[in-house]
Amino acid sequence: MALVGLVRVSMDKQETARQHDALTEAGCAKIFEEKISGKLSVSERPGLLSALDYMREGDMLTVQEVDRLGRNLLEGLLMLTDLFERGVAVKVLDGIAKGDHTERSLILDLAFALAEDRRRDIVKKTKNGLETARKSGRVGGRRPVMTEALTTQAVALRAKGFTIRQIQPHLSYKTGSGETRNPSVGAISQALQAHDDSQS
């Protein structure tokens, strides 16, 4: 019997090293990786399909935690049923479902329910964070180009009769890579509008 590992993250920018380390330490003969939503079915997940094609009878599909198989209760349970019907056993290294599984069980159902709750909580916190960022004049979670100091400078220049396009060359900021740039006309306009709104 060989352990065949599966690493899954939802987005390209997410790190996979922790999962790889755990699966390697567990003794996985081969590890497959996919960067795809855990809400998809078996047939829609190329990394999982590659792992299943590689596996032989008696091999065990291994994941660090059950949510690497799926983070949605219904799809997760359907996936497990599909795997078990194919004769594929599943090994979970961490979490409440830790252990070897060859059939559905209450503990697996509970683990998927908790994974879905965690996912729902993450989505909610992300939405709340983005909404807070929008209300404070930022789109996404990015740092605004127009700092308080630049906005104050823009307000002072406008008071002297400068247009936004005339203000632009007088304002500058440094990017993360150290380049010096002028804020866009749109960014200056938004900052001035936000300033005016705060004064009303």
Active site residue 200: no
How deeply is 200 buried, as exposed, middle or buried, from its count of CB atoms within 10 A (0-12, 13-18, 19+)? exposed
10, 37, 50, 189: the catalytic one is 10
As annotated, the active-site residues are 10
